[in-house]
């Protein structure tokens, strides 16, 4: 089938057009910006030059950062141009040779990550964690949880593209009955199914970003796996929070889906049960919904174990951005922030093994044996889709990673 003649309902059709960075085999192996169309990738920079587009300098790059920095108006203009290139027959003919099968290219981390922040925005996940670790508490949520989106600053240097192996981390761990901590590879390696948001337009230090400006700063989103060493995390996190139990690897998709491709997926967040301070209050008349109806699937060695619904997230990406900058902290092009583990209300919708196995008490039954936590050789794959125009689906690029021994 010719690259432009996609099957009806292809989740990576002309309604989607996510961005990535790829290279070709052989001598012409330079990294270049690409746009996915079905099971092909378009060399966006060369296509822009072939068609005499003014956006060629933004697209003929080895990362998405120049495009990210260009701002909302340019993002929308470039998307309209790309849509014309892949739908107008005369343009198709001019760029047909610039479409490459995905099977023939290497995909790379699509942008240079500036800062990385991770949140804790799912009430279902937070309650599950509270019940696991504080079973006798009157409330499974901490007192601050309904008043602000809790987050921590991660390590941008270990954000890797989908397909990168994950080396089992080593560190200190101490079980409750152990007399002293020991050092060694984690024996409770876990995943967290999340959505990552990619910042384009920077902000000035000292100037908070209000809720209404979310789409002026955030370019798009991607799937994210926040790999977690639960035993290392449990011993180290008091009193300052996660460190080595999280910082060893964070996997993201090779494809960034622009927010403009997800208009039909926007939904209102769950009803708030506590009044919010003004900078987080999104209940006003005329406020646009900034929740997203994303249907995530988590598979271990090809076996689906969970289907977390992103629409259930209590805190939205807009609220997270507002909270992240309310103290005057600035945004930089390439900032990445994770939603936190996505978990729904049912057991089948939990986004981590910590929850799915109830901290190892109830191991999962997989075709190749039981799992309380991940074993060496396990391959974890996150996929997702969102509702798109006219009933078609918008596919999100998968995130996959294989655990290798320490």
Q: Which residues are catalytic?
A: 125
Distance CA 145, CA 138 (A): 14
Distance CA 84, CA 225 (A): 34
> Based on the number of CB atoms within 10 Å of its own CB, is 280 exposed (0-12), middle (13-18) or buried (19 or more)?
buried
CB 282 within 8 A of CB 316: yes
Nearest CA to 223 among 191, 200, 248? 191
How much is the CA Rg of the chain, to the nearest whole Å? Answer: 21
Nearest CA to 38 among 18, 62, 22, 67? 18
Distance CA 367, CA 365 (A): 7
SS3 labels along the chain: CCCCCCCCCCCCCCCCCCEEEEECCCCCCCCEEEEEECCEEEEHHHHHHHCCCCCHHHHCCCCCHHHHHCCHHHHHHHHHHHHHHHHCHHHHHHHHHHEEEHHHCEEECCCCCCCEEEECCCHHHHHHHHHHHCCCCCCCCCCCCCCCCCEEECCHHHEEECCCCEECCEEEECCCCCCCCEEEECCCEECEEEEEEEECCCCCCCCCCCHHHHHHHEEEEEEEECCEEHHHHHHHCCCCCCCCCCCCCEEECCCEEEHHHHHHHEECCCCCCCCCCHHHCCCCCCCCCCEECCEEEEEECCEEEECCEHHHCCCCHHHHHHHHHCCCCCCCCCCEEECCCCCCCCHHHCCEHHHHCCCCCCCEEECCEEECCCCCCCEEEEEEEEECHHHCEEEEEEEEEEEECC
Residue 364, Cβ neighbours under 10 Å: how many? 16
């Amino acid at each position: 089938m010719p690259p432009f003649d996609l099957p009806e309902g292809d989740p990576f059709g002309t309604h989607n057009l996510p961005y990535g960075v790829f290279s070709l085999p052989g001598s012409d192996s330079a990294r270049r910006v690409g746009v996915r169309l079905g099971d092909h990738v378009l060399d966006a920079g060369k296509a822009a030059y072939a068609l005499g587009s003014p956006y060629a300098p933004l697209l003929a790059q080895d990362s998405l950062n120049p495009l990210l920095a260009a701002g909302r108006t340019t993002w929308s203009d470039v998307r309209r141009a790309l849509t014309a290139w892949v739908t107008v027959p005369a343009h198709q003919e001019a760029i047909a040779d610039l479409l490459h099968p995905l099977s023939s290219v290497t995909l790379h981390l699509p942008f240079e990550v500036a800062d990385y922040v991770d949140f804790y925005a799912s009430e279902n996940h937070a309650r599950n964690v509270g019940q696991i670790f504080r079973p006798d508490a009157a409330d499974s949520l901490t007192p601050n949880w309904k008043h602000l989106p809790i987050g921590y600053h991660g390590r941008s240097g270990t954000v890797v593209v989908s397909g990168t192996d994950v080396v089992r981390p080593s560190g200190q761990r101490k079980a409750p009955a152990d007399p002293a901590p020991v050092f060694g590879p984690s024996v409770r390696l876990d995943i967290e199914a999340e959505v990552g948001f990619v910042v384009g337009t920077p902000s000035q230090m000292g100037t908070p970003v209000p809720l209404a400006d979310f789409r002026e700063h955030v370019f798009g989103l991607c799937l994210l796996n926040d790999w977690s060493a639960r035993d290392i995390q449990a011993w180290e996190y008091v009193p300052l929070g996660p460190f080595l139990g999280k910082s060893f690897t964070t996997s993201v998709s090779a494809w960034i889906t622009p927010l403009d491709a997800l208009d039909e997926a926007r939904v209102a967040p769950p009803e708030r049960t506590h009044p919010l301070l003004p900078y987080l209050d999104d209940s006003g008349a005329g406020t646009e919904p900034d929740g997203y109806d994303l249907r995530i699937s988590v598979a271990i060695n090809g076996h689906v174990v969970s289907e977390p619904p992103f629409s259930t997230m209590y805190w939205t990406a807009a609220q997270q951005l507002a909270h992240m900058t309310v103290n005057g902290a600035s945004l930089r092009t390439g900032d990445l922030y994770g939603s936190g583990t996505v978990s729904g209300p049912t057991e089948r919708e939990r986004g981590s093994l910590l929850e799915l196995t109830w901290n190892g008490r109830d191991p999962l039954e997989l075709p190749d044996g039981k799992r309380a936590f991940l074993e060496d050789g396990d391959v974890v794959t996150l996929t997702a889709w969102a509702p798109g125009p006219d009933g078609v689906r918008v596919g999100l690029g998968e995130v996959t990673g294989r655990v290798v021994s320490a």
